[in-house]
């Protein structure tokens, strides 16, 4: 994610991961050895989000949206495996009305508790059992207001809607286990009035029209964190092509100039991906793309999987902004494919993506990586940690800029050969999974063949400027 321009911590992070695995359970409603799943995953950065007791393997979403009334209707099928003996399971869902729930085809009791959908199946779910939950729901979706990023979640626009956001957004338009620790595949069908585009993640899986409505289908077969889902509906110039044997889908809001900086920036997606692959190893997904929107309420760009979304503020200068494209595309490796186990380690996403901006700028004839490092080192407030920065600072400079400093300092410390073996090997070995800072340190030490604990302590959490390597 990029915002529009305008140790002790490691122990805390490790504890947070334990909470993510176990979740927090409600008391009561126990039946014959079965008990309710966790009310959330125990991540203090997003209390109430995510749920314990099951692991989702896939979502099949069929939604219909009418911009004239802002009404969304949906049918979600959630395929999962119980990781505990469950008398009840919860899903995250904000503001929409649920009309029916079925578990393995049988009607299930359900009720709402704030942003939670509580589902009680007819019979308990045994630990290890595979099951499906089908939810029918409808209503007028609402956005989420976050003091750090601004408005996210589901936003109605003049000609459609945009549903993106970090760390939460998915629960505003479908029932979900809304935490990056539970990644899943997605099949998404979106029906909208003829003439509008309905864009989402993954490979385009067909389009059909009937009775004045068009259904757009998308398939993301690589595991995806829920906050990386995208739904963009409206009047867009959509371009579909092939790049390196994979589909490339880009879209630019029709209200933006066809020859303007947003269109020019998104058009460089293929070239930038190719450069990043030369640095980070093979691109991890089955499709490419990017979407430039025109809604000023979106003051950030987001690495929505396989198809980043860019807010309009990045193109106000009138010139292409290739650095933001490099940043969001770098996340396809670091953040999307290799995802966080808990939000306290968000520097693993943003530090690497910020470093990718430096690499691209140097490759594109701009400022060298070393010069970017020197300038940022002198300007950094070292009292702010990169690891476990706190919820209010999770999108702050310590996460992005200090994180990038740590990445380059690692390069200076272990040398280019070991450094790029670390970056490439990390992306390959952990592809599709979830990681912690502790995992990355252990991997870097294994590849470099040396202890790096004190190095990372100094560059990620120390309160004073570390010695230059």
pLDDT digits (tens, 9 = 90+) for 272-282: 999 999 999 99
Predicted confidence at residue 338, as pLDDT, reads 98
pLDDT band of residue 145 (cuts 50, 70, 90) is confident
What tokens appear for 313 in the block?
């503020």
Predicted confidence at residue 149, as pLDDT, reads 74
3-class state of residue 346 by DSSP:
coil
What tokens appear for 14 in the block?
């490790």
Q: Is residue 26 scored above 90 in pLDDT?
A: no
* Residues forming beta bridges with residue 251, ordered by sequence position: 238, 291
The tens digit of pLDDT for each residue in 32-67 reads 789 999 989 999 999 999 999 999 999 999 999 999
What tokens appear for 138 in the block?
């409808």
Which ranges in 364-432 belong to alpha helices (H)? 369-379, 397-414, 416-429
3-class state of residue 436 by DSSP:
coil
Give me the domains of the chain, ranges plus CATH numbers: 50-332 (2.60.40.1730)
Is cis: bond before 167, omega within 30 of 0? yes
The tens digit of pLDDT for each residue in 299-339 reads 999 999 999 999 999 999 999 999 999 999 999 999 999 99
The tens digit of pLDDT for each residue in 207-228 reads 999 999 999 999 999 999 999 9
Q: Is residue 367 scored above 50 in pLDDT?
A: yes
- Does residue 60 contact residue 104 with C-beta atoms inside 8 Å? no
- Name the DSSP class of 52: S
- CB burial string 168-207: b at 16+ within 10 A, e below: bbbbbbbbbbbbbbbbbbbbbbbbbbeebbbbbbbbbeee
3-class state of residue 221 by DSSP:
strand
What does pTM read for this prediction?
0.94
């Amino acid at each position: 994610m990029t915002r529009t321009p305008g140790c002790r911590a490691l122990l805390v992070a490790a504890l947070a991961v334990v909470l993510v695995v176990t979740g927090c359970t409600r008391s009561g409603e126990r039946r014959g050895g079965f008990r309710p799943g966790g009310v959330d995953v125990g991540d203090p950065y997003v209390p109430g989000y995510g749920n314990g007791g099951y692991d989702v393997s896939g979502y099949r979403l069929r939604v219909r949206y009418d911009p004239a009334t802002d009404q969304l209707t949906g049918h979600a099928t959630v395929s999962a495996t119980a990781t505990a003996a469950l008398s009840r399971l919860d899903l995250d869902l904000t503001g929409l009305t649920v009309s029916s729930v079925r578990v393995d085809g049988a009607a299930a009791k359900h009720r709402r508790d704030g942003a939670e959908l509580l589902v009680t199946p007819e019979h308990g779910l045994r630990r290890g059992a595979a099951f499906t939950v089908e939810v029918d729901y409808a209503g007028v979706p609402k956005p989420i207001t976050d003091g750090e990023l601004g408005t996210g979640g589901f936003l109605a626009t003049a000609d459609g809607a945009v549903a993106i956001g970090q760390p939460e957004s998915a629960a505003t338009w479908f029932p979900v286990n809304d935490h990056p620790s539970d990644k899943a595949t997605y099949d998404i069908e979106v029906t909208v009035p003829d003439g509008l585009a309905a864009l989402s993640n993954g490979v385009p899986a067909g389009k059909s029209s009937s009775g004045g409505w068009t259904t757009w289908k998308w398939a993301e077969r690589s595991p995806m964190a829920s906050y990386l889902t995208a739904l963009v509906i409206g009047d867009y110039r959509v371009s579909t092509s092939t790049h390196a044997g994979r589909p490339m889908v880009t879209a630019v809001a029709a209200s933006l100039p066809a020859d303007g900086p947003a269109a020019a920036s998104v058009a460089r997606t293929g070239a930038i991906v190719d450069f990043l692959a030369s640095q980070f190893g093979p691109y991890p997904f089955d499709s490419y793309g990017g979407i430039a929107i025109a809604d000023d309420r979106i003051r950030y760009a987001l690495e929505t999987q396989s198809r980043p979304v860019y807010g309009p503020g990045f193109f106000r200068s009138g010139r292409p902004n290739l650095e933001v494209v490099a940043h969001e595309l770098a996340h396809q490796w670091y953040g999307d494919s290799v995802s966080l186990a808990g939000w306290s380690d968000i520097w693993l996403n943003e530090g690497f993506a910020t470093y990718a901006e430096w690499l691209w700028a140097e490759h594109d004839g701009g400022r060298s990586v070393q010069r970017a490092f020197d300038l940022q080192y002198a300007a950094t407030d070292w009292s702010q940690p990169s690891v476990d920065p706190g919820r209010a600072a999770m999108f702050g400079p310590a996460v992005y800029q200090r994180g990038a400093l740590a990445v380059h300092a690692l390069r200076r410390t272990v040398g280019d050969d070991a450094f790029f073996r670390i970056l490439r090997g990390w992306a390959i070995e952990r592809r599709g999974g979830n990681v912690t800072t502790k995992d990355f340190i252990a991997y870097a030490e294994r590849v470099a063949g040396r202890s790096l604990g004190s190095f990372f302590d100094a560059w990620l959490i120390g309160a004073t400027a570390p010695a230059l390597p």
